[in-house]
Amino acid sequence: MISHSDRKKYSGFIDEAIQQGAKQKSACTLAGISYRTYQRWNQKKVIAKDQRMFNTAPVHNKLSEAIRQEVIDIINKPEYSSLTPHQIVPTLLDLGRYIASESTFYRVMKAHNQLHHRRKSTAGQRKKPEPLKATQGNEVYTWDITYLLSPVKGQYYYLYLVMDIFSRKIVGWQVHDCESSSHAADLIEDIALREKIDKNQLVIHSDNGSPMKGGTLRAKMIDLEIIASFSRPRVSNDNPYSESLFKTVKYHYTFPDNPFSSLREARTWVESFVHWYNNEHQHSAIKFVTPSQRHQGLDKLILSNRKKIIEQAKKDHPERWNGRKTRNLTPINDVFLNPTKEGNRPLEKRIN
């Protein structure tokens, strides 16, 4: 509500701006009020007082300080400290006691900053995952599972994809008719053998799905001394590389419009896609070399040759650049997952 004195002040500012040549609507916008409001205030050339009616009668059902304090005392008793108001109120009723409703309990708790996790167990993970840094291939992987449509409505095939964030190469994949920690463990073991992963060399990041946290996979990673990293629950941004890869999969021009007719057909298509992605797809995030070229360490030589050719072209035809620099063909050195504003540091070497 704008007081009468403020109305006069704002109207004076607007009148002065109009006299200096400003448009009425622009002056009102600058003052932070609607020009219709300004016109209503000045209908009779006298700034009208606020004529709205307000109920000044005392509130009879306002909670007393004694009851508010009783609510706070109750929720902090040991026997109620881990219960919600929806559990406390019925418990008190069983004891023949009524203090206030559940909503009133919540209002009082909010006013006293008591709306927090009330159980002995820790609250769900909400802290951003440790930032990960990859300076070469086979240091940080990210993986996830996505659905592929099957011929049976409500049933799916499940595509397991593991990517190296440094090279963007798909280092391993499988397609199954179920989500399983044992399937994931087999996939990780196969990748570790094929890529010759040393002990305590690799960090694998994933979300919090049951296959990712299943006992079989965790045991296999401990056995291989591979470090586990996890996203926050229901936060897809913590695993951006896998999310982006799945979009590339499902928007690829060969991705079928209809469901896969069989598990074999799904596996055949994924095999073809992975070959294209790793060996033919020039990835924009790694200066348009293929993931396989970068994974093998060939990107520096390729980009150096490109730079020599374009620099020579600039020497031959400088007028085409008009003094501008040539494109940046410096290889990408470090790749980060979940970086922080304060800086980036690799995950501490530990087995989860």
Residue 101 structural domain: 65-111
- Examine residue 56 and state whether it is found in any structural domain, yes or no: no
Last residue of a domain, one of 111, 140, 169: 111
Q: Which residue has the tokens 């919090």?
A: 208
Last residue of a domain, one of 88, 111, 134: 111
Are residues 102 and 232 both part of a single domain?
Answer: no
- Examine residue 105 and state whether it is found in any structural domain, yes or no: yes
Work out how many domains the chain is built from and give that number.
Answer: 3
Are residues 241 and 106 both part of a single domain?
Answer: no
Are residues 249 and 338 both part of a single domain?
Answer: yes
- Examine residue 118 and state whether it is found in any structural domain, yes or no: no
Are residues 19 and 132 both part of a single domain?
Answer: no
- Examine residue 136 and state whether it is found in any structural domain, yes or no: yes
Are residues 37 and 166 both part of a single domain?
Answer: no
Closest CA relative to residue 75, chosen from 109, 110, 111, 117? 109
- Examine residue 107 and state whether it is found in any structural domain, yes or no: yes
Are residues 343 and 229 both part of a single domain?
Answer: yes
Q: What is the pLDDT along the chain (352 residues), one digit of tens a residue?
A: 667 677 778 788 888 888 888 888 888 888 888 878 888 777 755 555 556 666 666 666 777 888 889 988 888 888 887 788 888 888 888 888 888 888 888 988 888 888 876 665 555 556 677 889 999 999 999 999 999 999 999 899 999 999 999 999 999 999 999 999 999 999 999 999 999 999 999 999 998 888 998 889 999 999 999 999 988 877 767 789 999 999 999 999 999 999 999 999 999 999 999 999 999 999 999 999 999 999 999 999 999 999 999 999 989 888 888 888 888 999 999 999 988 765 554 444 433 3
Residue type, 326: T
Q: Tell me the pLDDT tens digit for each residue of 138-194.
A: 999 999 999 999 999 989 999 999 999 999 999 999 999 999 999 999 999 999 999
| pTM of this prediction exceeds 0.75 | no
Rounded to whole angstroms, the Cα distance separating 232 from 255 reads 30
CA angle 153, 157, 162 (to 5 degrees): 150
- Examine residue 303 and state whether it is found in any structural domain, yes or no: yes
Q: Tell me the pLDDT tens digit for each residue of 90-112.
A: 888 888 888 888 888 898 888 88
Are residues 212 and 253 both part of a single domain?
Answer: yes
Rounded to whole angstroms, the Cα distance separating 232 from 214 reads 17
Are residues 9 and 146 both part of a single domain?
Answer: no
CATH of residue 310: 3.30.420.10
Are residues 34 and 71 both part of a single domain?
Answer: no
- Examine residue 120 and state whether it is found in any structural domain, yes or no: no
Are residues 243 and 318 both part of a single domain?
Answer: yes
Last residue of a domain, one of 53, 81, 111: 111
Are residues 26 and 71 both part of a single domain?
Answer: no
Are residues 192 and 316 both part of a single domain?
Answer: yes
- Examine residue 195 and state whether it is found in any structural domain, yes or no: yes
The strand pairing partners of 158, in sequence order, are: 147, 176
